[in-house]
Structure 1
Amino acid sequence: MTEFPAARARVEAGPAAVPPRTATLVVDDGTVIAHHHWDPDPGTDPNPVPVVLHHGFAADTLVDWAGRGTVAALTAAGRTVVGVDARGHGMSRKSPDPARYGEPRMARDLRAVIAALDVPAVDLVGYSMGAIVALLTAAEEPAVRRLVVGGVGAGVVEVGGVDTRVLPNDLLAAALPAEDPGALPPGVAGMRAFAEALGADLPSLAAQARVVHQGGIDLAAITAPTLVVAGDDDPLAARPHVLADAIPGARLHVVPGDHGTAGGDPAFQAAIVDFLRG
């Protein structure tokens, strides 16, 4: 079993973003979805296309994007930023019912938030679970102008979603509510420890783990220019060139770090800012 020794690094703070404006949206099944908004920094040349961010499993917008410096990097580049908390995560509504989860369901939530922004185009960025949500969204949503996905690799093509060969979803679903996390395989125990460190809702996370998407994604349908960003020591983003090759015209950028640290590396943020600048 692969270990994730840097899982807790995703809790560490990066360059601070100013506090966001937070709003909620009630989607079609009654779930409340929270989304956080930041304006461009004063004195910058504002870009009219907002950047929409979707975080990874067990995290939320404030942990994955604001706390690790990506929001600050984008607002310093003149971007309006909108971060969406997935159902069961962050400030969005929780439920222990697996029928309310899955990345396709999260993609519908994301599209509802994009529609509510009432803008002609958005740039979309997703990490890990959020990368799967972003890919599913970009395959169907014409408003996506540019797309960045991180923390995923060949597993998207070969498994159909986050690489469950590395982090088995059945073990993860069992681990999250387990009374004795010390008895768990190291990689799964690390993810459980990460969730606990954040105070995440473990029953909701277990429900999502039970229905993690493995149904494939129509990558050929993605028409937005796409950047795949992967840490050079990330087992969940192994062989990222396989994913980049499967998306028409996609580029690949490799940065230092594993699954827990790559997203906080300045090279990761610089790659996003530069690519979205176009």
Structure 2
Amino acid sequence: MPVFEQDGVQIAYLDEGEGDPILLIHGFASNKAVNWQNTGWVDLFVKEGRRVIALDNRGHGDSQKFHDPEAYGAPIMAEDARKLLDHLGIEQTDVIGYSMGARISAFLTLSHPQRVKRAIFSGLGYGMIEGVGDPEPIAAALEADRLQDVTDRTGRAFRAFAEQTKSDRLALAACMRSSRQKISEEDIARIERPVLVAVGTRDDIAGSPHKLAALMQHADVLEIPGRDHMVAVGDKVHKQGVLAFLNNVDA
């Protein structure tokens, strides 16, 4: 798997297929393989004639790990994504981000609107504005000696997921403490690119997709029926809705 280094940070990524590019940004405690390859997204886009780029966010997957919260934050990780586009010589791309990846995608769109053609914010609705809860129980769960010692339900779920993905739990804890910057309604309203907000109807983490979409000039909502935060990413309705959006909405 290729890796590029800039400003002393190594970022792993994949680059598959040919055609119009699309950048995939995964969620917290996941990685490019779990979020996008194992769920069929990479193959789907390649078959659609797209060039697919997916990165491991810093602290995740095969990218460089840091145990200092100051090394993280969605704006910092958005710059990692922008630097990857620079490295690959991609001037403009569609972007899809899931959960934390949606937040990173929003910062990328706000900071570098000329680089983003269309954006899909999946797994995150109005939680992008108001936050999605206290990060400390999740960070503490990741730092706990044993999964059995974790009593917080959400923290336990993320700890189990981190063990499943064989992640650096201390890096994830540092990321959790710093990567959840809120974005104001005024900032979101500045996004002029076409946006799709895709959230599972049983997702109790994301917040309202309709409330978030209403803040933007050109935003649609995709409800993923019966899916919660952890499983909505690979749902066929999710995939079909994203393809319809990309095929029918002009930038």
AA partner of residue 129 (structure 2): V
> Is 2:39 the partner of 1:39?
no
Alignment match of 1:174 (pick from 130, 140, 145): 140
Find the counterpart in structure 2 of residue 255 from structure 1. 224
For the 8 Å contact 2:22–2:93, the answer to whether it is kept is yes
Q: TM-score, normalised by structure 2?
A: 0.93
Please list the CA deviations of residues 119-158 of structure 1 after superposition, one character each: whole Å capped at 9, or x if unmatched.
3310000000000000000112111001001001121122
Find the counterpart in structure 2 of residue 4 from structure 1. none
For the 8 Å contact 1:57–1:130, the answer to whether it is kept is yes
Find the counterpart in structure 2 of residue 239 from structure 1. 208
Structure 2 residue runs of 5 or longer lacking an equivalent are none
1-side partners of 2:91 and 2:35: how far apart?
26
AA partner of residue 28 (structure 2): F
Task: Name the Cα RMSD after superposition.
Answer: 1.3
Find the counterpart in structure 2 of residue 140 from structure 1. 111
- Secondary structure at 1:267 match in 2: helix
- Secondary structure at 2:143 match in 1: coil
Find the counterpart in structure 1 of residue 155 from structure 2. 188
2-side partners of 1:172 and 1:91: how far apart?
22
For the 8 Å contact 1:157–1:246, the answer to whether it is kept is no
Count residues with an aligned counterpart.
243
For the 8 Å contact 1:226–1:251, the answer to whether it is kept is yes
Structure 1 residue runs of 5 or longer lacking an equivalent are 1-21, 41-46
Runs of 4+ in structure 1 deviating by more than 6 angstroms, as ranges, are none
For the 8 Å contact 2:67–2:170, the answer to whether it is kept is yes
> Is 2:186 the partner of 1:214?
no
1:65 to partner: Cα distance: 0.5
Kindly, what percent of the aligned residue pairs are identical? 35
Alignment match of 1:128 (pick from 74, 92, 99): 99
1:276 to partner: Cα distance: 1.7
2-side partners of 1:68 and 1:180: how far apart?
28
2-side partners of 1:102 and 1:132: how far apart?
10
2-side partners of 1:273 and 1:209: how far apart?
31
2-side partners of 1:85 and 1:27: how far apart?
14
For the 8 Å contact 2:85–2:91, the answer to whether it is kept is no
- Secondary structure at 1:126 match in 2: strand
Find the counterpart in structure 1 of residue 79 from structure 2. 108
Alignment match of 1:99 (pick from 66, 70, 79): 70
- Secondary structure at 1:139 match in 2: helix
AA partner of residue 71 (structure 2): R
For the 8 Å contact 2:130–2:182, the answer to whether it is kept is no
For the 8 Å contact 1:153–1:240, the answer to whether it is kept is yes
Matches within 5 A, 1:63-82: 63-82=34-53
AA partner of residue 16 (structure 2): W
1:104 to partner: Cα distance: 1.1
- Secondary structure at 2:52 match in 1: strand
Greater relative contact order, per chain length (Cα 8 Å cut-off, separation 6+): 1
Matches within 5 A, 1:257-272: 257-272=227-242
AA partner of residue 277 (structure 1): N
Matches within 5 A, 1:14-29: 22-28=1-7
Find the counterpart in structure 2 of residue 205 from structure 1. 172
- Secondary structure at 2:78 match in 1: helix
1-side partners of 2:94 and 2:26: how far apart?
15
Q: TM-score, normalised by structure 1?
A: 0.84
Alignment match of 1:228 (pick from 183, 190, 197): 197
AA partner of residue 119 (structure 1): I
For the 8 Å contact 1:140–1:221, the answer to whether it is kept is no
For the 8 Å contact 2:74–2:181, the answer to whether it is kept is no
AA partner of residue 233 (structure 1): R
